[in-house]
Amino acid sequence: MATHFSNGDKILQAVLADTKLSELGEYTPTGIETISDALDSENAIIRAVAMIIDGNENRYTQKEIYNQVSNYLIQKL
């Protein structure tokens, strides 16, 4: 059965496939990540990237996205 990925999912997969980011975030990209799954991830890097993409898709302002991601990372790290 074929899986349908949204544009946001495809962007997420492309970003998470970056070798340096995956080393920094200590994760192994699978190529099947979705925004929904990533927003529930325990990994701060994966979740922060998903928050940025999701905020952009939902037409949040840059300031709203920045505040959301910044507050999350301060709390998580």
| DSSP symbols for 15-70 | HHT-HHHHHHHT----S---HHHHHT-S-HHHHHHHHHHHHHHTT--HHHHHHHHH
Confidence of residue 1 (pLDDT cuts 50, 70, 90): very low
- pLDDT, mean over the chain: 95
- Percent of the chain residues past pLDDT 90, beyond the cut: 91
Confidence at residue 31, expressed as pLDDT on a 0 to 100 scale: 87
Confidence at residue 3, expressed as pLDDT on a 0 to 100 scale: 74
